[in-house]
Amino acid sequence: MDSVPETPQARPGQRDLTTGPIGATLIAFALPTLGSNILQSLNGSINAIWVGRFLGEGALAATSNANIIMFLMFGAVFGFGMAATIIVGQAWGRRDHEAAKRAFGSAIGLVLTASVVVAVLGWVFAPDILRLLATPPGAFQLALDYLRVIFLGLPGSMLLVLMFMGLRGTGDSMTPLWFMGLSVVLDSALNPVFILGLGPAPRLGIAGSAVATLIANAVAVAGLIGYIAWRDLPLRLKGAEIRYILPEATLVRTIVAKGLPIGAQMLVLSGSALAMVGLVNRNGIQTVAAYGITQQLWAYVQMPAMAIGAAVSAMAAQNIGAGRWDRVGQVTRSGLIYNGAITGAMVVLVLLFDREILGLFVGDASPALPIAQHISYIATWGFILFGGTMVLFGTVRANGAVWGPLAILAIAMFPVRLGAAYALHPWLGADALWWSFPIGSVATVALAAAYYLHGGWRRGALLVPEGHCEERSHADIEPAGSLKPAG
């Protein structure tokens, strides 16, 4: 096997996730990621407040439909970035920093190309997509105006997310926090400017909200590129390394082989969400608006779970790369404990103060408000189970196991969740839609736990690019007979 490069001098925000106390390291890494996620959700909520207050519930329903479509488009290219992040994390854990840079560069080339293609197709077919969703006539044109501008900004937003993911793969969760903050401040401040046409800005209505997002992401990307160069962060591509953006065949095969199933997982989630929106849309615009603002509430509830899952994945990838299997199970257990405590506390808080929070998006007299409260009471607790799934999936994906989570999500989202919504509808009416969420969460976490405990995900091979470090199976690091399921 090739010699292991020496560890370079620590850079700003960089954290070695293969040493130190696991619980403290996990939470210290997860908190900035949680901050980034909260800022991102806060941005969406503030934008929804501007749209709801200035343009009304029809515009709010339009953004709800458009945002779910964007999640679908996002999933089409997100998998490549996630696969590259796994490679970066494993390479960083074994101190092969050149391999990490090559994977990062290839991911940039792939994601930019894919996002441009998706943006063009999204612009062209946006009306057809909205019609497939049965978007209410009163919200159709508004959703179209908003969606098409959002599509224009897709390459910039995808590049920003990819750079955040790559930095976290090296153990740096602070830099993404600062630049997410920059994006949020700009987006939130520019929304009323372009919606209302303040000062020299044109009055664009709902499209103005999308223009604000486009500008904010472009500025954040440019600023982050400059900061990485200025501070000479570990993934900086300089000189001859710029050629890494032209993807290598070996890396392309690895990233695509792992990225497509991860992207498919996103598509399963977004496809299920789209099907749910289609069902919700048939219950009238008030229910659509109520569902939209409930999703804003849920965005906050799921943030701790997403942050802890991301931290578990980054820690597990580095420890797998370093051959520290003794720490991988401990990372998973710590993640499950933290998720139960933090997400559980979030659920309690939002249920206690849901009227005050939901009332930010619509007036107190809005008929959508009690509907939104009702939805929240039925479904919000399921996010505790969702968090457990994120932790378990984060660990197995860190070893390149992507087909198991895909199969689990496909089963839980379609035959279970949507099947429950249809089967219970004759007895529960619209409540069947809301009960299908916790039913799906129960199925997902049960299947994920079974796969984590009994699946073959530990027997995969390290995702190592050729020419840097000889690819070896985990059996060479830890004998198969000594592998024991954690938890």
Give the residue from 61, 68, 56 showing the smallest Cα distance to 205: 56
In the chain, % of residues over pLDDT 70: 87
pLDDT at 299: 78
How many other C-beta atoms lie within 10 A of the C-beta of residue 260? Answer: 17
Q: How far apart are CA 407 and CA 265, in angstroms?
A: 8
Model pLDDT for residues 268-288, shown as the tens digit of each residue: 887 788 788 888 888 888 888
What is the average per-residue pLDDT within 223-239?
A: 90
pLDDT at 462: 58
Q: How far apart are CA 10 and CA 254, in angstroms?
A: 29
Q: How far apart are CA 189 and CA 37, in angstroms?
A: 19
Q: How far apart are CA 246 and CA 106, in angstroms?
A: 6
Q: Flag whether pLDDT at 77 surpasses 50.
A: yes
What is the average per-residue pLDDT within 52-71?
A: 70
Model pLDDT for residues 186-221, shown as the tens digit of each residue: 998 998 899 888 888 888 888 888 899 899 999 999
Q: Residue 348: how many CA atoms within 13 Å on its side-chain side?
A: 6
Model pLDDT for residues 125-178, shown as the tens digit of each residue: 888 877 876 777 777 777 788 888 888 888 898 899 889 988 988 888 899 999
Q: How far apart are CA 463 and CA 401, in angstroms?
A: 11
Of the pLDDT bands very low, low, confident and very high (cuts 50, 70, 90), residue 444 is: very high
> Concatenated DSSP letters for 160-216?
HHHHHHHHHHTT--HHHHHHHHHHHHHHHHHHHHHHHT-TTS---THHHHHHHHHHH
pLDDT at 269: 82
Structure tokens at 134: 């049965």
Interacting residues of 54 by C-beta distance below 8 A, sequence separation 6+: 192, 195, 196
Of the pLDDT bands very low, low, confident and very high (cuts 50, 70, 90), residue 65 is: low
Of the pLDDT bands very low, low, confident and very high (cuts 50, 70, 90), residue 445 is: very high
Summary mean pLDDT of the chain: 83
Phi, psi of 473 (to 5 degrees): -80, 160
